[in-house]
Amino acid sequence: MYPGAYDPARPAVVTADGGRTLTYGRLEERSLRLADHLRGARLRPGDHLALLCENDPRVLEVYWAALRSGLYLTVVNHHLTAEEAAYIVGDCGARALVVSGRLTELGRAVRKSTGGPELYLGLDDGTYEEALAAASPLPPAHQPRGADMLYSSGTTGRPKGIAPTLPEGDVREVPSMYQLLFQPMYGFGEDTVYLCPAPLYHAAPLRFCFVVTATGGTVVLMDSFDARESLAAVERHRVTHSQWVPTMFVRMLKLPPEVRGAYDVSSLKVAIHAAAPCPVEVKRRMMDWWGPVLHEYYSATEANGITFIGPDEWLRKPGSVGRGGFLGELRICGEDGKVLPVGETGTVYFEREELPFRYHRDDARTREAQHPDHPAWTTTGDIGHVDEDGYLFLTDRRAFTIISGGVNIYPQEIEDCLTLHPKVTDVAVVGVPDPEMGEAVKAVVQPAADAAPGPGLERELIGFVRDRIAHYKAPRSVDFTDELPRTPTGKLAKSRLRETYWP
């Protein structure tokens, strides 16, 4: 479905503070007007539109305008430097750029660096509103379906543009792949109230907000994640659906018990989490608090495949991210490309009939993602194994595996162990150069406010790990830092951290 199919007075998007509301009628009209303006500016199906904006209801106007114009929309991370943002805008070949008022200086720097794009619309300088006022709100006879073309977060290198094949058909008649997957799985509909605490330049928040507005629900949009304010928003808006990353769970769990108990979260029916593996103990604690409402999926911005697992399944298979078969068959392959038996660890591939994506202007990276013998099988570099029932258990990303003395050590297991230590606020584990072993395990810890960093805490944390997992996996050393490099979506930018230890 599409915005015009629903009651025009129904709220499509509201801000968490209640200060702004975008109704379905306004979303339909304004996205149609913007689509008309883009056509008048000679943007054609397959062209690119870039957006620099904070979490703002108007992001959904731009998204739907691109979606009903056959355009690719690239929402750019506004926390990037001007050089980094300009790289993305230039790399995607954007012919139009929409910029919010708070990001005007960044937008100007991007235009200066790239020499374009030729069409510029400021959300708050009058040019966007002038364009909409002069455009037609009448729907054209045909509205070719567009798609988002997002860039990876760059946690393992320079961001990569992920270009899906544009789907055929009219946006009003052909449901998107995301709607077909997530609507029946999570029960999205007109009674849905969906809390979005994460930035809309990230794939999952953007696409789920789209699914909600395609199915008649209401998006509750936060400016940014805050543990306490998120709970307040659930209570205030009687949120039924929400999406999180494990880092958000950890920060909510570390709130004082009296704070956690002060908010009514009983309206939650489905709390979805993804983006990173969730430590088993973290998820158990969240289940104890919120009840059996936690649903997990494993996928990537590339949307090359997906697994799902519900709360009851997870209690039977703790630590699993679910089974495949919904969007390509799951395959675990060794370094030689051969499919591995049950229980053996290897690279996670999804088998599709056709190549589901390409890295924009980067054939070499596209080939790296493909199976050596089956070009339609693709991977994003994760490693794991499946059990006898077909459930996937992730081990880590291939790029972050530590090889110490010829033995593979997976940082995720050590990070999961340390995450809930009361004196740890955040943690990352990396391999560092070692003259004897090749690499040694190092933990980089942001200590809790009341913890004193130093040799004593270092010994305590190393001992804590040694008491719980094999000694050879325990960190040889611990460094302390004020803050770890995480993206606003909660992903650890481990490549940046690792670079500080490798000349």
User: Tell me: the pLDDT tens digits for 279-303?
Assistant: 899 999 999 999 999 999 999 889 9
- Establish whether the linkage from the previous residue to 117 is cis, with ω within 30° of 0: yes
Say whether pLDDT at 490 is over 80.
no
The per-residue pLDDT for range 222-264, each reduced to its tens digit, is 999 999 999 999 999 999 999 998 889 988 998 999 999 999 9
In the DSSP assignment, the letter for residue 10 is S
Give CA–CA dist 71/50, Å, rounded.
10
Cα separation values, 256 from 228, 260, 262, 265, 355, Å: 10, 6, 10, 16, 48
Q: Which residues of 343-355 are buried (b: 16+ CB within 10 A; e: fewer)?
A: eebbbbbbbbeee
Say whether pLDDT at 277 is over 90.
no
Domain ranges of the chain: 3-172, 312-398, 401-499
Give CA–CA dist 435/433, Å, rounded.
7
CATH of domain 3-172: 3.40.50.12780
Dihedral angle over CA of 378, 380, 386, 389, nearest 10: -70
What's the fold here for domain 312-398? Answer: Luciferase; domain 3 (2.30.38)
Tell me the Cα Rg of the chain: 23
Say what the pLDDT of residue 171 is.
94
Say what the pLDDT of residue 480 is.
97
> 401-499 sits in which CATH class?
alpha beta
Confidence of residue 153 (pLDDT cuts 50, 70, 90): low
Q: What SS3 state is found at 263?
A: coil
Say what the pLDDT of residue 157 is.
54
Say what the pLDDT of residue 213 is.
98
Report the pLDDT averaged over residues 134-150.
96
End-to-end CA distance of the chain: 53
Q: What's the chain's average pLDDT?
A: 93
Say whether pLDDT at 32 is over 70.
yes
pTM of the complete model: 0.85
Q: Do domains 3-172 and 401-499 have the same CATH topology?
A: no
Give CA–CA dist 111/234, Å, rounded.
39
The per-residue pLDDT for range 66-107, each reduced to its tens digit, is 999 999 999 999 988 899 899 999 999 999 999 999 999 999
Say what the pLDDT of residue 489 is.
65
Say what the pLDDT of residue 434 is.
85
Say what the pLDDT of residue 154 is.
55
Which region holds residue 45: left if phi is over 0, alpha if psi is between -120 and 50, else beta? beta
**What percent of the chain clears pLDDT 70, i.e. is strictly above it?**
99
